[in-house]
Chain A
Amino acid sequence: MIKYPYVSFEVEVAPNSKRKKTIWRPIIELIVFCGTQFAAYPVLVDSGADYNIFHSGLLEALGGKLTKGKKRRIVALGNQPLKGYMHNIKLKLVGGNKFESSAIFSNQIPDHALGVLGQNGFFDRYKITFNYKAKTINIS
C-alpha cells in the first residue's frame, strides 16, 4: 500500500472575491512515460472522471505527438465539451510499479484545473481509499 498526503490550497470563495478558504484535494504524483522520456506529473484523483485526462503540453514535453492518438470528446460538469486525443501510455505511482494505461491528452483543460486520474486507466487497477480526516489517500 502506498500512502499519499492531501494537498492544500487557499481558494477564493467566489470569483474575484478577496475572501479565501483552505481547500484540501487528493492530488498525487505520477511518473508518466513516453518512449524513453518520463516526468513526474501531479494529478487530482477524481472518482467522478471516466478517464485519465492530462495536459497536452506534458505529452509534447516528453516527445509525443498529440494528434497520433485517437480523437475523443468528453463533457465536463456544466456541459463544457473538451476535445483531446487518447494515447496508450505507461504510468508509475511514486513508490509503485509501472503499469500500462491510457489517457486523453488535451489542450482544453480549464485554466483552474490540474490533470485527473479517472475510472478507466486508474480506478480499474487500484483500490483507492480516501481519508479526508487524516488527509491521506491509500492506494493498493
Chain B
Amino acid sequence: MKPINWNQLFDSYKGKWVALEQNKKTVVSSGKNAKTVFEKAKKKGVKVPTLVKVPTKMIPFAG
C-alpha cells in the first residue's frame, strides 16, 4: 500500500477549503466557504467530494 503525499495540495491551497475528486488528487473547487466549495463540487458531478480544510502551516504538533 502506497503512502499518500499531500505536500503539493497543502502548498497550493493553504487556509482554504478544497473539494477533491474521488481520486484524491484532483481539486474540483476551492475557496473560503465550505458550503460553496461542496456545492460547486456536487454541481460538477462529484458524487462524494472529499472536503479538506487545508492547514495554513505544516508544523510539528502534539494532539
| Residues of chain A at the chain B interface (Cβ within 8 Å) | 3-15, 21, 23-24, 27, 29, 31, 38-42, 44, 46, 48-49, 55, 57-58, 60-62, 76-77, 109, 111-116, 135-136
- Interface of A, helix, strand, loop or mixed by DSSP: strand
In contact, A8 and B63 (Cβ under 8 angstroms) = no
Number of A-B pairs whose CB atoms are under 8 Å?
Answer: 108
Could you say which of B4, B24, B50, B56 contacts A8, with CB atoms under 8 Å apart? B4
Give min CB distance, A136 to chain B, whole Å: 6
| Chain A residue at minimal CB-CB distance from B50 | A40
- Interface of B, helix, strand, loop or mixed by DSSP: loop
In the complex, per-residue mask of B10-24: 1 if CB is within 8 Å of any chain A CB, else 0: 100001010000001
B44 at the interface (CB under 8 A from A): no
Return chain A residues, CB-CB under 8 Å to B15: 111
Q: A31-B48, A38-B48, A61-B35 are in contact. Are A3 and B59 (CB under 8 A)?
A: no
Which of A60, A61, A113 counts the most B-chain CB atoms under 10 A from its CB?
A: A61
B28 at the interface (CB under 8 A from A): no
Q: How far is the CA of A3 from the CA of B38 in the complex (A)?
A: 27
